[in-house]
Amino acid sequence: MCLAATLEMFRSQRLSPEPLSWMAMGPTAVAGGSPANRKTRPLRLSHVVDLTQTLSPKFPSWPGYPSIEVRNTHNYARDGFLANAWHVHEHSGTHVDAPLHFSAQGWSAAEIPQESLVVPAVVIDIRGRVRRDPDTQVRMEDIRAWEKKHGRVPRGAAVLMWSGWERRAGDQAAYRNMDNQGIMHFPGFSREAAEFLVKERTAGGVGVDTLSLDYGPSTNFGAHFAVLPANRWGIENLANLGRIPPKGATLFVGVPRVQGASGGPSRILAVW
């Protein structure tokens, strides 16, 4: 289906606004209730941007994690159709970290509520500092500066770090940016900022255009521990954050529904 037809299909639908405000809802609000009792508004879209990196055996991986392997099992000449078998690590390419990744009591990928996967997107631009210091982090002052310009971070939002690091994704050594001691250097969220977003702004999740929610030298994974055990999710290895507005887009998080999974490669779309 072409983009124009897809957009026309979305425009023709009517969407209840309540599912997009997932934190204000009860656990059965999406599945239950009478549609006739809900006010609706047209879902009007003019842009759809894919924030997903293409996953291949060459895409950079976290040290110790295997790259995806694709093995052909059926082909046109022999079988009349094409099919492949994948061997893929949960945390490969553009992927979601489910709460279970850092909390034994957290939701698995399959358990993340559907209403928390369609959320407002907030983009925080730290590219200027990254050019000078690859180990910089999203700090409280970045959030305050964003709110001064755009208003309070929306309840349930996905707060996305735009560092410009994706330009290195074609080169694993540059993307990991590892020094002679084996320490990686790239930006991420500070624990303080991550905790503030979860506790004070009720963010639904955070995302980065790097290998990790935490900055490269981290050994305590403070941002992960601030976000995931609170039953929020993270997204790593995002792309195209410069193509969406700092405020006003809606994020669709296509996490795979795999039982017991701590995450998984995901298709991430922004629309507005």
Is the distance from CB of 107 to CB of 100 less than 8 angstroms?
A: yes
Q: How confident is the model at residue 43 (pLDDT cuts 50, 70, 90)?
A: low
Helices (H) and strands (E) in the chain, counts: 7, 15
Of 46, 38, 61, nearest to 4 by C-alpha is: 46
Q: How confident is the model at residue 16 (pLDDT cuts 50, 70, 90)?
A: very low
Prediction pTM value: 0.85
Fold assignment, 48-58+89-271: Glucose Oxidase; domain 1 (3.50.30)
Asked if the model's pLDDT at residue 40 lies above 90, the reply is: no
User: In the predicted model, what is the mean pLDDT of the chain?
Assistant: 90
Quick: pLDDT tens for 47-63.
999 999 999 999 999 99
- What is the Cα–Cα distance from 163 to 161, expressed in whole angstroms? 6
Q: Which residues have a Cβ under 8 Å from the Cβ of 55 and sit 6 or more positions away?
A: 68, 88, 92, 93, 94, 265
What type of residue sits at position 69?
E
Q: What is the pLDDT of residue 197?
A: 99
Q: Residues of the chain with pLDDT > 70: what percent?
A: 84
Of how many residues is the chain composed? Answer: 272
SS3 157: coil
Q: What is the pLDDT of residue 56?
A: 98
Residue extents of the structural domains in the chain: 48-58+89-271
H or E stretch including 208?
Answer: strand 205-208
What type of residue sits at position 4?
A
Q: What is the pLDDT of residue 45?
A: 83
Of 269, 270, 262, nearest to 62 by C-alpha is: 262
SS3 144: helix
Asked if the model's pLDDT at residue 151 lies above 90, the reply is: yes
Asked if the model's pLDDT at residue 31 lies above 90, the reply is: no
Q: How confident is the model at residue 253 (pLDDT cuts 50, 70, 90)?
A: very high
Asked if the model's pLDDT at residue 185 lies above 80, the reply is: yes
H or E stretch including 143?
Answer: helix 140-150
The residue-averaged pLDDT of 99-125 equals 99
Least confident of 2-11, 140-149, 193-202, 255-264: 2-11
Query: Strands 95-97 and 263-265, how do they pair?
Result: antiparallel
The residue-averaged pLDDT of 146-175 equals 99
